[in-house]
C-alpha cells in the first residue's frame, strides 16, 4: 500500500469514504473541461467500485490527496500504465492528477506530482515517467513543466479514445522525464 507525505499533503489509497469526491470530480464541468464525457452518479459509482475492488500493482494505486492540516480529501493522483500503444511504449508509466476546482491555484497538483516523481524514480526505480494532456489544457501542461517534465513534440498524438464528436479534445501533448534528468534537477535544486 502506497502512502506518500509532502509538506501539505498525504497521498493515500482510495477508500469508501472517497466515493462522493470521485463523483464530484467525474461530473464537474469545470474539472472536466478537457474530457469528452461526464459521469452520472451511477456511472461514477460503478467506476469507483472497480477502483476500490482492484488489487493495485505495488506503487501504481490511484491515490487520494488529503490536506494534512484539515484531513480533507481534495483530489486524486497517481502513477499508472496507460496502454496506449503505438503512441506510448508498452512499459510506459504515466503520472496524472485531478483536483477539485476549489483547490486549484494553490500548488497542490505540483506538490503531489513532484512527490510521485520522487516515488517513481526512487522507490520504484523507473527509467522514465510520461504525462499527456489535451494541447489546450494549459493548467495541466503548466504542472508538467513545474515538476520538471519536458514537452516531446515528436510524441504528440491524436488520442484514440476521444470520440469524433469532440475533435477539439483529440490532440494530446506528450511530456517526458527520465530518471537521469530528474536526478540532475534534484541536484541542481539542492534536493539531493
| Chain segment 132-159, per-residue pLDDT in tens | 999 999 999 999 999 999 999 999 999 9
How crowded is residue 28: how many other Cβ atoms within 10 Å of its Cβ? 15
Per-residue pLDDT averaged across 15-28, rounded? 94
**What is the pLDDT at residue 192?**
60
Q: Judging by DSSP bridges, how do beta strands 94-99 and 4-5 pair with one another? A: unpaired
CATH no. for 4-188:
3.40.630.30
**What is the pLDDT at residue 74?**
98
Distance in angstroms (rounded) separating the CA atoms of residues 192 and 189: 8
For the stretch 63-120, pLDDT in tens is: 999 999 999 999 999 999 999 999 999 999 999 999 999 999 999 999 999 999 999 9
How crowded is residue 181: how many other Cβ atoms within 10 Å of its Cβ? 15
**What is the pLDDT at residue 50?**
86
Q: Judging by DSSP bridges, how do beta strands 157-158 and 128-134 pair with one another? A: unpaired
Q: 190: pLDDT confidence band, cut at 50, 70 and 90?
A: confident
**What is the pLDDT at residue 58?**
67
Distance in angstroms (rounded) separating the CA atoms of residues 45 and 33: 21
For the stretch 24-48, pLDDT in tens is: 999 999 999 999 889 999 999 998 9
Q: What percent of the chain has pLDDT over 70?
A: 97
Q: 61: pLDDT confidence band, cut at 50, 70 and 90?
A: confident
Domain ranges of the chain: 4-188
**What is the pLDDT at residue 56?**
67
Per-residue pLDDT averaged across 178-182, rounded? 97
Residue 163: partners with Cβ closer than 8 Å, 6 or more residues away: 36
Phi, psi (rounded to 5 degrees) for 170: -75, -50
Residue 22: partners with Cβ closer than 8 Å, 6 or more residues away: 14, 44, 47, 48, 51, 76
Q: For residue 51, is pLDDT > 70? A: yes
Q: 123: pLDDT confidence band, cut at 50, 70 and 90?
A: very high
Radius of gyration of the CA atoms of the chain, in A: 16
pTM, 2 dp: 0.93
Amino acid at each position: 500500500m502506497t502512502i506518500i507525505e509532502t509538506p501539505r499533503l498525504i497521498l493515500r489509497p482510495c477508500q469508501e469514504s472517497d466515493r462522493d469526491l470521485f463523483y464530484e470530480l467525474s461530473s464537474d464541468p469545470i474539472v472536466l473541461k478537457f474530457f469528452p464525457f461526464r459521469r452520472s452518479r451511477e456511472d461514477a459509482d460503478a467506476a469507483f467500485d472497480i477502483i476500490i475492488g482492484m488489487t493495485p500493482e505495488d506503487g501504481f494505486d490511484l491515490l487520494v490527496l488529503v490536506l494534512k492540516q484539515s484531513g480533507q480529501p481534495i483530489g486524486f493522483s497517481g502513477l499508472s500504465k496507460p496502454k496506449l500503444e503505438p503512441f506510448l511504449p508498452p512499459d510506459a508509466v504515466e503520472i496524472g492528477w485531478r483536483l477539485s476546482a476549489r483547490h486549484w491555484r494553490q500548488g497542490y497538483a505540483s506538490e503531489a506530482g513532484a512527490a510521485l516523481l520522487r516515488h517513481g524514480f526512487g522507490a520504484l526505480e523507473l527509467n522514465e515517467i510520461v504525462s499527456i494532456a489535451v494541447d489546450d489544457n494549459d493548467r495541466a501542461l503548466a504542472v508538467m513543466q513545474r515538476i520538471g517534465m519536458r514537452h516531446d513534440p515528436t510524441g504528440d498524438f491524436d488520442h484514440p479514445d476521444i470520440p469524433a464528436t469532440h475533435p477539439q479534445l483529440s490532440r494530446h501533448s506528450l511530456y517526458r522525464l527520465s530518471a537521469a534528468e530528474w536526478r540532475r534537477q534534484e541536484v541542481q535544486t539542492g534536493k539531493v
